Structure 1
């Protein structure tokens, strides 16, 4: 009995230790050779709108009067771009959600130990690879992509941390602050030769982090009037920014737009777990290199969302992390093939580095590479 007890205890310790080895180890691989698509991209600049804490159903559904809650975004879906649901993963929190969006990987659980306030490991990102990035929003989100990055090409504009007050009467100001500051920035760019030159470069990113919806959801819950009205505030703000940018760049057709969210929220105002209300977020994109709306008579999805949202005739294309969304691209077959090939080559580079690391840490007699 004693031997059996000791054996059982040992097995439990092994299983317990394996959890930390599997889940508390960074998934990142460093040292790969970067891969690039040789063909020129259709866009010179990307404008990324992230409505923190926005559920897919709240954006896409019609209100109690049968009208779209976000008429500008609805118009984009029907007349200008492509749309779908972005399937996020746990933990459905702002930091790991934004890391997945901008850096392309799901953050390891070890970040919990630092409250997702510091980078537990260094990582590359879209922002880091840009020529210049300008971002506006919460200091908690913006600074983590600028920290430790070499060069002077990432600019962040954040409001006071005290502004993120869940009990404030009107937290839509967190979003209107972003929109107002973006407008002021481009007004200044017209009269500043150096800044004007920078914003007209290629590989430019403008990142607008919109925290009001998330804050209203925590304070009043997603079923509240405050949460839903905030969606309209965001929709109006995006409409103004898009119009301003098109005018600023002379409708050159070189701007790509993405509107999405980092995570959703439960009916009782929480997020972090894996309920569909937390993991199903909206994804709407339009502009340079993006397909126009596709009318269809039937769709492959077996959920009831399309009929509820009255969008069953506009092709829905869902986003899954790590899979190149080729169906969103409005380009030649050659460009799509080159993009898929580059994606595969980048994955191969990760495999090569991981194999080298494994070989160095394993006795030769136990190391057998796959054919």
Structure 2
């Protein structure tokens, strides 16, 4: 009897240990050959806006008066670019969401379990492949893309961690800090020849991480005035930054813009699971290399969102979140991040957005 019990315990221990061996060991491999899109890069620079914790419906839906909370983004959808849904995966958290969109793969459990702020495994990213990347935002997100970068070409500007107060009355200051610092940066670039030369290189990326919506969503819920007002502030400041880029670069038509989110949020202000409110995030792209809006009479999607958002006449382009990394790489002509899960379906989703595929 004792032998049987001991044998049974040993078998259970082996099965238990195998779970950790399989799921808590990184599947990433190294030494692969870099892959490029065969298409010529249409953009010299890319601007990535990530509104942390922004639900797709919160951005796209109209308010009780029939007005958009984000009129600038709405005008982009109708007049300048492409729009759709970026489908995230569980866990719907900030770190795996950013890894998916910037590195192009879905982070394994070993990485998530070992912490959010450090790199338990080395991985390639769009930022590492760029000539230069400048990023502004949360100290929880930016360092993990700079730590593993080869060479000194990924620059981060973060506020103090104490600013990330999930009980704060005014979390929009996290976003206004980012926008103000970007403006200060370009003002300084005009008077600094070395910096001016760098920002005028090709294959450069500017990353604005906006944590205010996530913080307001946790503190006040997505239906709150604070969350909805934050959307309006972000929209207004994005418009301002786009205008600044156009002025700085003399409207050269070589800037591509991407506006998206790492994950959504439930009605009660949480995220991490697989509810559509957490996994459906917005994706709006415009500028160099992006197709103009396409008017359609019918669309392939069976959900009711198009009518609710009154966007049924503008073609919707849905992608998986990891598709965004090769899309961005294609726009500025750098290799896909080495661990990017690039396949035929992803390439087709990229081609459906790029103007140069027409």
| Counterparts in 2 of 1:3 and 1:314: CA distance versus 1, 3 Å | farther
Please say if 1:328 is aligned against 2:358. Answer: no
Q: Deviations over 1:95-140 (max 9, x none)?
A: 1111111011111111233321210100000000110100000011
Equivalent residue of 2:141, what SS? helix
Q: Is the 8 A contact 1:27 1:107 kept in 2?
A: no
Equivalent residue of 1:328, what SS? coil
Question: Which structure would you say has the larger Rg?
Answer: 1
> Which aligned pairs between 1:48-67 and structure 2 lie closer than 5 A?
48-67=48-67
Q: Is the 8 A contact 1:135 1:208 kept in 2?
A: yes
| Counterparts in 2 of 1:282 and 1:202: CA distance versus 1, 3 Å | same
How far, CA to CA, are the matches of 2:7 and 2:58 in structure 1?
53
- Aligned match of 1:156: 156
How far, CA to CA, are the matches of 1:316 and 1:22 in structure 2?
38
> Which aligned pairs between 1:171-210 and structure 2 lie closer than 5 A?
171-210=171-210
Q: Is the 8 A contact 2:54 2:264 kept in 1?
A: yes
TM-score normalised to structure 1 length: 0.86
* Deviation of 1:24 (Å): 1.4
> Which aligned pairs between 1:80-91 and structure 2 lie closer than 5 A?
80-91=80-91
* Deviation of 1:14 (Å): 5.0
Equivalent residue of 2:236, what SS? helix
Equivalent residue of 2:308, what SS? helix
How far, CA to CA, are the matches of 2:282 and 2:12 in structure 1?
42
- Aligned match of 1:136: 136
Q: Deviations over 1:174-217 (max 9, x none)?
A: 00011111011111111111111110000000000000000000
* Deviation of 1:6 (Å): 7.2
- Aligned match of 2:244: 244
How far, CA to CA, are the matches of 2:315 and 2:215 in structure 1?
32
Deviates more, 1:165-174 or 1:105-114: 105-114
| Counterparts in 2 of 1:332 and 1:261: CA distance versus 1, 3 Å | closer
Q: Deviations over 1:64-85 (max 9, x none)?
A: 1110111000000000000110
How far, CA to CA, are the matches of 2:152 and 2:49 in structure 1?
23
* Deviation of 1:152 (Å): 1.8
Could you say what the CA RMSD is over the residues aligned between the two structures, in angstroms? 1.8
Please say if 1:225 is aligned against 2:228. Answer: no
How far, CA to CA, are the matches of 2:137 and 2:238 in structure 1?
14
- Aligned match of 2:319: 319
- Aligned match of 2:308: 308
- Aligned match of 1:362: none
- Aligned match of 2:273: 273
| Counterparts in 2 of 1:12 and 1:316: CA distance versus 1, 3 Å | farther
- Aligned match of 2:21: 21
* Deviation of 1:21 (Å): 3.1
Equivalent residue of 1:140, what SS? coil
Structure 2 gaps of 5+ residues are 323-340
- Aligned match of 1:32: 32
